[in-house]
Amino acid sequence: MRLTFPHMGMLSIPVETLLNGLGHQAVTPPPTNKRTFELGAKYSPEGACLPFKINLGNYIEALEQGAEGILMAGGLGPCRFGYYAQIQRQILEELGYQFDLLLLEPLGGERKELYRALRVLREKVPFPRALAALRLAWAKTRWLDRGNALFRYYLPRSKDPSKARKSYHQYLEAIRQETKLCLLDKHYQKLGVELEGNLRPETGFLLRVKIIGEIYMVLEPRVNFHLENLLGEMGVEVVRGISLSQWVEEHLLGFFYPHHRRRTILLSTPFLPSFVGGHGRETIAEMVDAGVNRLDGVIQVLPFTCMPEIVAQSITPAVSATYQLPVLTLVIDEHSAEAGVITRLEAFVDLLRRKRLRPRSLCLPTRFPPPLREDLQVAGEHHPAPTG
């Protein structure tokens, strides 16, 4: 079957590998562009959040290219992501498209739908080959995230940013094409050598800024105006806790990687003792982490009307005051323009530079951080792993 899926950052690379490995034909939607925004905004409900609109635009563009099926994840709420697929199916059917929707629901929800999707996905190839495809896709996800971390580290330190960007894009393409698990490491080495060769001889102090917020907005560079590149070229090192592999580890393989959830709960409990859906709690946890590690600032990115992030946004002032950590909140929707974002980023970076130049003794915390709780018997523990 010709299957398509929504974009989210580098997600298309492993998913393409997986689908092709499973004997399907992956139809990657064209990279998110102006037309995607327009199509999405035109056919979506007005109040829906930006990821919903972009996903819809991606689907329409992929269906125009001849996709027959859509692969999408589901969720249990209370974030709206869990109900995206239902509404999107209704809208696309009203527009007259013919397609089959394969929904990967979490285990706590509609199992019938999940089992059907898995059966359809797997039925073309024997089980060992399916497993091999899954393994290759997962390895690619891990290497992509590592490559991205490397690139984020080297970009503000490089002599020629455009050259660094170019070698990073070559790396992405190489990973996309690669079919052998053992060769992924080689590409990573090559990227490292290239970035190393591009280093500036001397660098003064570098600001370190963490990007937090809603996962889609953080990971999708075409929606957040290439935030990481912009900051990198301003000479700011971008730190990011949220990544694709981390999400998969936390939400799909939570049983094998319990430390992600424990860390989130431990860090966010003093400020937000309850689960609020989506990435609300993770946002607060990442921010506390940035404060504890004495980073220079934090940028929160959220789509307009995102419910969990709004809750987090109302709590950020408390975290900010406790750790003396400046925050910039960027609310993005389909009307946001690049110039406005750049101006705000520049102003924020200027403020951070000035703050850094002042002696540290002047910025003593006004409030002392509340003690982090050792016992993890808190509200969030009772909930099943939320998706989305």
Partner 1 sequence: MWRFFLEELGYTAVVSGLTGRAQLNAGVKAAVDEVCLPVKVFLGHSLALTSQCEALLIPRLVSINRKDYICPKFMGLPEMTKQVVGEHLVMVWKSEKNCALGSLPALPPEIREGFSYRRIKKSLQKAEATFRAYHGLLQQGFLPDEAERILFEGAEPRREDSRRRIGLIGHPYCLYDPFINLDTIGLLRRYGFQVLAPEFFTPQRIEAELRVLAKPLFWTLSQRIFGAFRLLCKEKVEGVIYLSAFACGPEALIGELIKKEAKASGLPLLHLDLDEHSGEAGFVTRIEAFIDLLNRKRRLSCV
Under the binding rule (CB under 8 A), the answer on residue 251 touching partner 1 is no
**Of positions 276, 299, 330, 352, contacts partner 1 by CB under 8 A:** 276
**How far apart, in whole angstroms, are the C-alpha atoms of residue 339 and residue 334?**
14
- How many C-alpha atoms does 160 have within 13 Å on its Cβ side? 7
Which pair of structure tokens corresponds to residue 16? 């393409």
**How far apart, in whole angstroms, are the C-alpha atoms of residue 17 and residue 19?**
6
Under the binding rule (CB under 8 A), the answer on residue 171 touching partner 1 is no
Under the binding rule (CB under 8 A), the answer on residue 33 touching partner 1 is no
Output 5 or 271, the one with its CB closest to partner 1.
271
Give the nearest distance from C-beta 1 to partner 1 in angstroms: 21
Reported in sequence order, the residue ranges of the chain that DSSP labels E, i.e. its strands, are 2-4, 25-26, 69-73, 100-104, 207-213, 236-240, 297-303, 327-332
Q: Which residues, 6 or more positions from 38, have their beta carbon under 8 angstroms from its beta carbon?
A: 57
Give the nearest distance from C-beta 305 to partner 1 in angstroms: 5
Q: Near partner 1 by CB under 8 A, which window of 4-12, 70-78, 212-220, 338-346?
A: 70-78
Contact assessment for residue 43 and residue 60, using Cβ atoms and an 8 Å cutoff: yes
**Of positions 49, 144, 184, 212, contacts partner 1 by CB under 8 A:** 49
- Residue matched to tokens 């327009």: 38
**How far apart, in whole angstroms, are the C-alpha atoms of residue 132 and residue 259?**
27
Output 162 or 314, the one with its CB closest to partner 1.
314
Diameter over CA atoms, the chain:
65
Under the binding rule (CB under 8 A), the answer on residue 385 touching partner 1 is no
Chain residues 365-384 in contact with partner 1, contact rule CB under 8 A: 379, 382-383
Under the binding rule (CB under 8 A), the answer on residue 96 touching partner 1 is no
Chain residues 331-360 in contact with partner 1, contact rule CB under 8 A: 331
Residues near partner 1 (CB under 8 A)? 45-49, 74, 76-80, 82-83, 85-87, 90-91, 94, 109-110, 113, 271-278, 280, 304-308, 310-315, 317-318, 331, 379, 382-383
